[in-house]
Homo-oligomer: A and B are copies of this chain.
Amino acid sequence: MATPRLRTRKLSEPTIARLPVYQRIAEGWARGGLNRIDSQQIGELAGVTATTVRRDLAGLGSFGTRGAGYDVKVLSERIGEALGHDREYDVVVVGIGNLGRALVNSSNFLIRGARLAALYDVDPEVIGTRVAGQVVRPLSDPIAPATVGVICVPAAAAQSVADRLVGADIHALLNFAPQVLTVPIGTAVHYVDFSIELQILMYHLNNGTGPLGGGLLHSLGIATPSALRVP
C-alpha cells in the first residue's frame, strides 16, 4: 500500500458525469422504500441506454445481481466511493449576490463531502450579514484554506477573484461568471454557464434535431417513452 491507490480503474469523463445522476435515482428509490433497480429502469430515468448504465456501473466493480438488478443501497454507496464522497473538503464562495446565496442555501449544492468554509463579498451591505450559517467576510480578508473556490461575481471581477483564490493556494475553481479565466497550470477551472444551456436547447429546437437531440453531460435526460416516475 505504497501510494494511496485509486479504488477503481480510471473512469471516463462521460461516466463520471452520469454517476451522480444514477446515484440520485438510487436514492430516490431507496427513499421510496424500493430496494432493487435494474439497468433498464435506471436508463429510462437518466435518459441513457441500459447498456450504457451497465457499462458505467461495471467500471465500479461487479455488484449487480444477474436476474435481479442492483441493490439501491449498494449502488448508491459504490457510486459515493468512486466519486470520493467519503472525503470531506472545504469550499469558499466569493460573491454573495442572488446566485451565491442561491447556491449556498441550496440543499443540492454543498453535499457529498463539501463543507462551506467561508463566504466573501465586497458589498458593505452584505459583509457581516449571516448567510447559510456563515458571516460574510470582506474580500480583503485573508482567504480561508479550502480545496475549491466558487466564483459568483460579475464577469469584470472574476479574474481578480480567481487570482486571489489561486494565491490562497486553491487549485480548483468553479466559475459561474461568463468570463474565461487565466490561471497557472495545475489549477482546474470548471465553467458553469447558464446561457449556454439555453443556447443548446434552442439550437436543437431550431434545427429540429428533434425530440431526441440532447444527450450529453448536463443534457442527460431527454425523456424516453416509458420513463418511470421516481416513487
**Which residues of A does B touch, CB under 8 Å?**
6, 10-11, 13-14, 16-17, 19-21, 24-25, 28, 45-47, 82-85, 87, 89, 91, 97-99, 101-103, 105-114, 147-148, 154-155, 159, 171-172, 174, 177-207, 209, 211, 213-225, 227-230
List 12 other contacts, CB 8 Å, given A89-B205, A181-B221.
Answer: A10-B207, A17-B200, A21-B193, A46-B180, A83-B202, A89-B202, A97-B102, A99-B106, A103-B194, A107-B154, A148-B202, A189-B222
CB distance from A187 to the nearest CB of B (A): 6
The distance in angstroms between the C-alpha atoms of A193 and B112, with both chains bound, is 14
Q: Which residues of B contact A47 (CB under 8 A)?
A: 189
- Report yes or no: A216 in contact with B14, Cβ–Cβ below 8 A: yes
Cβ contacts under 8 Å, A183 to chain B: 223, 227
State the Cβ distance, A217 to closest chain B Cβ, in Å: 4
| Sample of 25 A–B contacts (CB below 8 Å) | A11-B203, A13-B216, A16-B199, A21-B193, A83-B199, A89-B202, A98-B102, A101-B102, A102-B102, A106-B194, A107-B155, A112-B195, A114-B195, A172-B201, A172-B202, A182-B223, A182-B228, A185-B223, A186-B211, A188-B201, A188-B205, A188-B214, A191-B220, A192-B197, A216-B216
Least Cβ–Cβ distance between A110 and chain B, in angstroms: 8
10 shortest interchain CB distances as A-B pairs = A98-B102, A99-B102, A84-B206, A108-B178, A186-B211, A217-B217, A183-B223, A20-B196, A98-B101, A182-B227
With a cutoff of 8 Å between Cβ atoms, the chain B residues found around residue A147 in the complex are 202, 205
Report A86 CB to chain B, min CB distance, Å.
Answer: 10
